Structure 1
């Protein structure tokens, strides 16, 4: 089975029924990943598979720490024997180290999972942070505002996303610039 087929199947099993809105979001993020194929080359399938699995750690059946990047990466590594690069991208998606710091889990995340190549980290940030909770397209600025509004500015997630916002916007800008350079403006 191809990596992307496996990833969609697993994500659907873990998210569709218990978290239908999250399932819609990850499908939208995967759609964004497909749009980036011109700049991803040989990593296009890896990015699409990662995109559809990036939030698997929200699944009630595997959530243990309450920090979905860590829970998802551990599940994918330990239970699914997933591709190591995919696991690392899930673990560190969308500036997860900053949220891990807010939760007192930074050392745990950093020691268990290495960072992946910056171009792929940027691509996943772009895909996640330009997709609405319902799977539609948005801007990184609107997405950060939506997250702060949903969680509140003084919550763990609110504080983290505000700290991460400059890097989120910078990553989105770098991806947009790379796409424009190959004649594919976003």
Structure 2
């Protein structure tokens, strides 16, 4: 999970991996194979750029069927089941959803794609506590079942602790630190200080 302040390059990193941006240099590799050499690898990556959505006037069902054309493993039954579970109407237009409901739908769409790599850019930004808990619970359930990998950007590490096992710290558009959380937990030490009062 990349963590950094705003403007450090988190969104640019995801858009580059998803081929929304052309690279000035370097390569994006999956299992040591460049996605430019084998374009089928791009169907293993799911990224939804909310800044440039072209389907805001479509219904949730229409959006799902559009993505079904791009992802051969897309599971429409799973999508409709999850939408019903979270009370999102199939025939409602995307633009009519609240920000929280849009975030929840985007996660459902990503999960239903059955892509091996799901890229989420600040997925909990602006969500209320209840929706955030629903989204985290949904992701935890599906990661266990489907065994896909999540790459989540955030500037708030605390809210993602239940989901992540590795953290990359970005600074000035460069990875400055790479932490394995299990290693950190094993080496962490708790200190308790007792200070004198000014009595």
TM-score > 0.5, shorter chain as reference: no
Higher strand share: 2
Q: Which has the higher contact order (CA 8 A, sep 6+)?
A: 2
Larger Rg: 2
Q: TM-score, normalised by structure 2?
A: 0.31
Q: TM-score, normalised by structure 1?
A: 0.32
Higher helix share: 1
